[in-house]
Amino acid sequence: MIFVDTGAWFASVVPSDSDHSKASEWLSQNTQPLLTTDYVVDETLTLLKTRREGQRAMILGNAFFAGNLATIYYLTEEDIQQTWQVFHQFSDKN
Protein backbone atom coordinates (compact mmCIF):
# COMPACT_ATOMS: atom_id res chain seq x y z
CA MET A 1 0.00 0.00 0.00
CA ILE A 2 1.33 3.45 -0.92
CA PHE A 3 0.57 6.53 1.20
CA VAL A 4 -0.46 9.58 -0.85
CA ASP A 5 -0.27 13.05 0.69
CA THR A 6 -1.82 16.41 -0.20
CA GLY A 7 0.83 17.56 -2.65
CA ALA A 8 0.40 14.54 -4.90
CA TRP A 9 -3.41 14.69 -4.89
CA PHE A 10 -3.34 18.43 -5.63
CA ALA A 11 -0.79 18.08 -8.43
CA SER A 12 -2.71 15.22 -9.99
CA VAL A 13 -5.84 17.30 -10.58
CA VAL A 14 -4.52 20.83 -11.22
CA PRO A 15 -3.03 21.14 -14.72
CA SER A 16 -1.17 24.36 -13.85
CA ASP A 17 0.77 22.63 -11.05
CA SER A 18 4.42 22.09 -12.00
CA ASP A 19 4.19 18.40 -11.06
CA HIS A 20 0.84 17.74 -12.72
CA SER A 21 2.16 15.60 -15.58
CA LYS A 22 4.26 13.40 -13.31
CA ALA A 23 1.56 13.02 -10.64
CA SER A 24 -1.34 12.32 -12.97
CA GLU A 25 0.72 9.89 -15.05
CA TRP A 26 1.92 8.04 -11.95
CA LEU A 27 -1.62 7.76 -10.55
CA SER A 28 -3.01 6.51 -13.84
CA GLN A 29 -0.31 3.85 -14.16
CA ASN A 30 -0.15 2.77 -10.51
CA THR A 31 -1.45 -0.71 -9.77
CA GLN A 32 -0.85 -0.81 -6.01
CA PRO A 33 -3.52 0.10 -3.46
CA LEU A 34 -3.35 3.69 -2.24
CA LEU A 35 -3.82 4.97 1.30
CA THR A 36 -4.53 8.46 2.55
CA THR A 37 -6.02 9.92 5.73
CA ASP A 38 -9.09 11.94 6.53
CA TYR A 39 -6.77 14.84 7.39
CA VAL A 40 -5.12 14.65 3.96
CA VAL A 41 -8.53 14.57 2.26
CA ASP A 42 -9.61 17.63 4.25
CA GLU A 43 -6.36 19.47 3.56
CA THR A 44 -6.44 18.67 -0.16
CA LEU A 45 -10.05 19.70 -0.70
CA THR A 46 -9.56 22.89 1.35
CA LEU A 47 -6.40 23.75 -0.60
CA LEU A 48 -8.22 23.27 -3.88
CA LYS A 49 -11.10 25.45 -2.73
CA THR A 50 -8.82 28.25 -1.49
CA ARG A 51 -6.92 28.17 -4.80
CA ARG A 52 -10.19 28.75 -6.65
CA GLU A 53 -10.44 25.14 -7.77
CA GLY A 54 -13.86 24.46 -6.23
CA GLN A 55 -15.12 22.31 -9.07
CA ARG A 56 -12.00 20.15 -8.95
CA ALA A 57 -12.44 19.89 -5.17
CA MET A 58 -15.99 18.58 -5.65
CA ILE A 59 -14.92 16.05 -8.28
CA LEU A 60 -11.98 14.83 -6.21
CA GLY A 61 -14.09 14.73 -3.04
CA ASN A 62 -16.73 12.63 -4.77
CA ALA A 63 -14.03 10.24 -5.99
CA PHE A 64 -12.50 9.98 -2.50
CA PHE A 65 -15.80 9.24 -0.78
CA ALA A 66 -16.97 6.84 -3.48
CA GLY A 67 -13.85 4.78 -2.73
CA ASN A 68 -12.48 5.18 -6.25
CA LEU A 69 -9.05 6.59 -5.40
CA ALA A 70 -7.69 5.29 -2.14
CA THR A 71 -8.51 3.77 1.19
CA ILE A 72 -9.14 6.59 3.64
CA TYR A 73 -7.74 5.95 7.11
CA TYR A 74 -9.69 7.86 9.75
CA LEU A 75 -7.35 8.95 12.50
CA THR A 76 -8.29 8.17 16.08
CA GLU A 77 -7.50 10.29 19.09
CA GLU A 78 -4.76 7.79 19.92
CA ASP A 79 -3.25 8.22 16.44
CA ILE A 80 -3.18 11.98 16.89
CA GLN A 81 -1.53 11.69 20.31
CA GLN A 82 1.10 9.36 18.88
CA THR A 83 1.86 11.68 15.98
CA TRP A 84 2.19 14.56 18.44
CA GLN A 85 4.79 12.55 20.34
CA VAL A 86 6.70 11.86 17.13
CA PHE A 87 6.51 15.56 16.28
CA HIS A 88 8.14 16.38 19.63
CA GLN A 89 10.68 13.59 19.33
CA PHE A 90 12.00 14.94 16.05
CA SER A 91 11.65 18.64 16.79
CA ASP A 92 15.27 19.15 15.77
CA LYS A 93 14.37 18.50 12.11
CA ASN A 94 13.12 21.22 9.78
Q: Which domains does the chain have, with CATH numbers?
A: 2-89 (3.40.50.1010)
Q: Is the dihedral of CA 43, 41, 52, 15 positive or negative?
A: positive
Q: How far is Cα 69 from Cα 34, in angstroms, rounded to an integer?
A: 7
Q: For residue 84, what is the enclosing H or E element? A: helix 77-89
Answer yes or no: is pLDDT of 4 > 70.
yes
Answer yes or no: is pLDDT of 93 > 90.
no
Instruction: Report the pLDDT averaged over residues 59-67.
Output: 97
The confidence band for 88, taking pLDDT boundaries of 50, 70 and 90, is confident
Tens of pLDDT, residues 20-42: 999 999 999 999 999 999 999 99
Lowest mean pLDDT among 23-27, 64-68, 87-91: 87-91
- Provide the edge-to-edge strand list for the sheet that holds 2-3: 2-3, 34-37, 71-73
Tens of pLDDT, residues 7-24: 999 999 999 999 999 999
